[in-house]
């Protein structure tokens, strides 16, 4: 089995230092909406400069290099045990090369492992077997701690918010999450929302949906409309980039629906900061393609 560790180190480097173009384009468009000389415009301009510098110098876009979340879509024949080992080795190497800050802290003993490995759970790796004729594909998201802290989960009905078990209720709790986050999740953010599931699966899906491109809409027209509406309405709250006020609080919203138990109706909102680092690596025989 081919050792992909060097390619995975490069994959981590790209994810940590080179923000995807679709995110950068949306941030550039947002600058134009902010008043000249405003703190909001200044914050966005600084963010954009930072993105350019990180790309040019191959340094992390943010000092918080985030929780690494991998998804591996593997055709039959690959060993998940070996793929996990390659990812973990690559993470150690990427940390040595300073593409990643050592971020894995033992929650009980408060010890930083120093290499971004921690037990079986850090980094997070999800595996999915695909058809034999499909290529081996890795996806990686680096999810910042500040934005993770402002994620929220709601069990509907939430009477204090007047939110029932329907899409109108989902809208209310999602806006509540944005309002409560203020600028603390390093706005402008991207909302990943999962409706249904149990507490665990719902949170996982609310992050998984964030792997989609900016502007990609749910195929369900009702959910697509709610995605647009939540982005627009979040931008009327006056929170703005880094909480400085202004027009740009959220640059996109992504929603996914799940099945649920009759007794439960969870809505999980994962908030992703402007440092929306997510990339894909595809292995086609000897060729490796980075998106
Ligand atoms: S939340 Fe995002 S932008 Fe803010 S410090 Fe963390 S990684 Fe950086």
| Strand 124-130 relative to strand 67-75, pairing | parallel
Sequence ranges of the domains in the chain: 5-14+61-144+277-290, 146-272
Q: Which helix (H) or strand (E) holds 162?
A: none
Q: Is the pLDDT at 206 greater than 90, yes or no?
A: yes
The CA distance from 219 to 96, in Å, is: 42
pLDDT tens figures, 70-110: 999 999 999 999 999 999 999 999 999 999 999 999 999 99
Asked if residue 1 has pLDDT above 90, the reply is no
Model confidence pLDDT, tens digit, residues 212-263 = 999 999 999 999 999 999 999 999 999 999 999 999 999 999 999 999 999 9
Answer yes or no: are the C-beta atoms of 170 and 193 closer than 8 Å. Answer: yes
Phi, psi of 65 (to 5 degrees): -85, 0
Report residue 189 as tokens: 């953010």
Q: Is the CB of 64 under 6 A from ligand 1?
A: yes
Tokens of 44: 């966005």
Peptide bond into 123 cis (omega under 30): yes
Identify which of 17, 51, 63, 64 to mutate to test ligand 1's pocket (most ligand atoms within 8 A of the CB).
64
Is the pLDDT confidence value at 42 over 90?
yes
* Ligand 1 atom closest to Cα of residue 65: 7
- Tell whether the model's pLDDT for residue 205 goes beyond 90: yes
For ligand 1, whether the C-beta of 151 sits within 6 Å is: no
pLDDT of residue 244: 96
Structure tokens at 117: 């490995």
* Cβ(62) – ligand 1 distance below 6 Å: yes
Main-chain dihedrals φ then ψ at residue 27, nearest 5 degrees:
-70, -35
The best mutation among 142, 144, 148, 151 to test binding of ligand 1, ranked by most ligand atoms within 8 Å of the C-beta, falls on 144
pLDDT of residue 16: 98
Task: State how far the Cα of 126 lies from the Cα of 104, in Å rounded to an integer.
Answer: 18
* Structural class in CATH, domain 5-14+61-144+277-290: alpha beta
The CA 61 to ligand 1 mean position distance, Å, reads 9
Contacts of 213 (CB under 8 A, 6+ apart): 22
* Distance (Å, whole) CA 108 – CA 143: 22
Task: Please compute the mean of the pLDDT values over residues 175-204 and round it to a whole number.
Answer: 97
Residue (of 256, 60, 275, 254) closest to 188 by Cα position: 275
pLDDT at 12: 98
* Helix pair angle (39-57, 5-17), 10° resolution: 160
Atom of ligand 1 nearest to the CA of 185: 1
| Residue the block writes with tokens 């009477």 | 159
Distance, in Å, from the CA atom of 4 to the CA atom of 1, rounded to the nearest integer, reads 9
Share of the chain above pLDDT 90, in %: 99
Pocket flag, ligand 1, residue 275 (CB < 6 Å): yes
pLDDT of res. 63: 94
Q: What percent of the chain is modeled with pLDDT above 70?
A: 100
């Amino acid at each position: 089995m081919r050792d992909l560790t060097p390619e995975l180190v490069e994959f981590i480097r790209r994810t940590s230092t080179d923000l995807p173009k679709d995110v950068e384009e949306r941030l550039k468009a947002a600058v134009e909406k902010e008043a000249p000389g405003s703190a909001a415009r200044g914050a966005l301009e600084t963010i954009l400069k930072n993105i350019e510098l990180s790309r040019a110098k191959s340094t992390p876009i943010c000092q918080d290099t985030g929780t690494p979340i991998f998804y591996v879509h593997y055709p039959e024949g690959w060993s998940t045990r070996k793929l996990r080992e390659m990812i973990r080795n690559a993470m150690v190497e990427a940390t040595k090369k300073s593409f990643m800050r050592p971020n894995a802290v033992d929650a009980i003993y408060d010890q930083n492992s120093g290499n971004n490995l921690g037990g079986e759970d850090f980094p997070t790796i999800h595996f999915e077997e695909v058809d034999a004729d499909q290529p081996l594909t890795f996806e990686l998201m680096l999810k910042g701690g500040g934005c993770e802290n402002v994620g929220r989960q709601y069990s509907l009905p939430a009477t204090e918010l007047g939110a029932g078990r329907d899409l109108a209720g989902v809208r209310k709790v999602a806006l509540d999450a944005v309002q409560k986050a203020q600028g603390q999740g390093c706005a402008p953010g991207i909302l990943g929302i999962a409706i249904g599931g149990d507490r665990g699966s719902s949170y996982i899906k609310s992050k998984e949906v964030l792997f989609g491109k900016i502007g990609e809409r749910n195929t369900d027209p009702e959910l697509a409309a709610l995605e647009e509406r939540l982005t627009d309405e979040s931008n009327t709250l006056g929170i703005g980039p880094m909480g400085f006020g202004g027009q740009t609080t959220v640059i996109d919203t992504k929603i996914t629906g799940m099945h649920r138990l009759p007794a439960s109706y969870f809505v999980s909102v994962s908030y992703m900061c402007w440092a929306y680092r997510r990339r894909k690596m595809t292995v086609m025989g000897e060729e490796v393609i980075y998106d």
